[in-house]
Amino acid sequence: MTTPGLSTDQRTRYDRDGFLVIEDFAEPAACDALMARAAELVETFDPDASRSVFSSVRQDQNSDAYFLSSGDRIRFFFEEDAFDGAGRLKQPKTLSLNKIGHALHDLDPVFRAFSRTPRLAALVAGLGLRDPVLLQSMYIFKQPHIGGEVVGHQDATYLYTEPTSVVGLWFALQDAALDNGCLWVIPGGHRGPLRKRFVRTPESGLRHVDLDPTPFPDDAYVPLEARKGTLVVLHGLLPHRSGPNRSDRSRHAYSLHLVDGTCAYPADNWLRRDPAFPARGFGIG
Ligand code: FE2
C-alpha cells in the first residue's frame, strides 16, 4: 500500500529513524527563487533598526521584544560574530544575518507558494498529521566563516504540543556538507523522551524547563550531507544539530515546522500568533 506522497518504505524508515532524506525534492530553480526572494527581503531590512542576534548557544539573548513578537512577522536576526567590538557590522548585512523568521510562509507570496503545495500536503498527510498547521518558517543563512553552530536539540522543545506532533521540513537551498555546517542527527533518537521545554515566563522572558535528564549521546550523531534540493524530514523528538560554517561557502536552507491542529498548544510556548491571524493549514493560501 502506498500512502499519499510517501511510500510505505519511506514511512517505515521515518518511523524507525525519526528522519527521512528525500533527494531532489525541490527543483534547483525553486531553490534559486527562494534565495533570490530572501535577498530581496534583506535589501528592505534596515540593519540599524534592529540588532537582534540569534544564538542557539546563548538563548537568553533571544528574549528581546523583537524576537518574542516575531511569530507572526518577518524579522531578521544576526549572527553573533557579525559585529565588531564597537557594535558595527564587520561585513555587509547580506553576509551578517543568521536567519529570517518566523512567518515567511504566511506573509511572503514566494515563500507561501513554496510552502503550500499539494505535494507537501500529501507528504505531511503521509506522516500522520491529521490537521497539519504550518506554524513556523525560517530562512537560515549559515554564512561563510561566521555561520554559528546550532546545538543539539529536539524541535518539540520549541514547538510543544500535547501530545507531541511537530514535524520539521528542512530544505537544502545550497549543498550542505561537513565543512559548511550540514545537519547531524541521532538515528532512532526520536524514541527517547523530550528533554526540555522552552517557555515564556510570566515576566515576558524565556527559559528552558528541564523535563528529563537523559543526555543526547554525542557519539551517536551522524552527518546528513545534502545536495541542493534535498528535503530532510525531522520528527519533533529527533535530536539534531548543525556545526558552524568555517568554509568560504554559504549554506542556505529553508525550514518549515508543522504541528497537528488537533493537539493542544500550550499558551506558554514561545511562538505566539495574533488571534486574528492564526497559523493555518495547506488549504488556505
Ligand atoms: Fe531544529
Q: Does domain 8-260 match CATH 2.60.120.620? A: yes
Between the CA of 116 and the centroid of ligand 1 the distance, in Å, is: 20
Between the CA of 167 and the centroid of ligand 1 the distance, in Å, is: 10
Between the CA of 1 and the centroid of ligand 1 the distance, in Å, is: 31
Q: How many CB atoms lie within 10 A of CB 94?
A: 15
Residue 125 CA to residue 269 CA, distance in Å, equals 24
Between the CA of 166 and the centroid of ligand 1 the distance, in Å, is: 10
Between the CA of 2 and the centroid of ligand 1 the distance, in Å, is: 28
Between the CA of 269 and the centroid of ligand 1 the distance, in Å, is: 15
Between the CA of 187 and the centroid of ligand 1 the distance, in Å, is: 15
Look at residue 285 in the predicted model and tell me its pLDDT.
Answer: 43
Between the CA of 82 and the centroid of ligand 1 the distance, in Å, is: 22
Look at residue 87 in the predicted model and tell me its pLDDT.
Answer: 83
Look at residue 86 in the predicted model and tell me its pLDDT.
Answer: 85
Between the CA of 241 and the centroid of ligand 1 the distance, in Å, is: 7
Between the CA of 194 and the centroid of ligand 1 the distance, in Å, is: 13
- Going from the C-alpha of 192 to that of each of 18, 55, 187, 225, 266, the distances in angstroms are 11, 25, 11, 24, 22
pTM of the model: 0.94
Between the CA of 153 and the centroid of ligand 1 the distance, in Å, is: 6
Q: pLDDT tens digits for the chain (285 residues)?
A: 455 689 999 999 999 999 999 999 999 999 999 999 999 999 999 888 777 777 766 655 556 888 999 999 999 999 888 888 888 889 999 999 999 999 999 999 999 999 999 999 999 999 999 999 999 999 999 999 989 899 999 999 999 999 999 999 999 999 999 999 999 999 999 999 999 999 998 887 899 999 999 999 999 999 999 999 999 999 999 999 999 999 999 999 999 999 999 999 999 999 999 999 999 999 844
Between the CA of 86 and the centroid of ligand 1 the distance, in Å, is: 32
Between the CA of 247 and the centroid of ligand 1 the distance, in Å, is: 22
Residue 164 CA to residue 181 CA, distance in Å, equals 27
Contact between 173 and 232 (Cβ < 8 Å): no
Between the CA of 103 and the centroid of ligand 1 the distance, in Å, is: 16
* Domains in the chain: boundaries: 8-260
Between the CA of 218 and the centroid of ligand 1 the distance, in Å, is: 16
Best CA proximity match to 54, nearest among 63, 44, 41:
63
Residue 152 backbone class (left: φ over 0; alpha: ψ -120 to 50; beta: rest): beta
Look at residue 52 in the predicted model and tell me its pLDDT.
Answer: 77
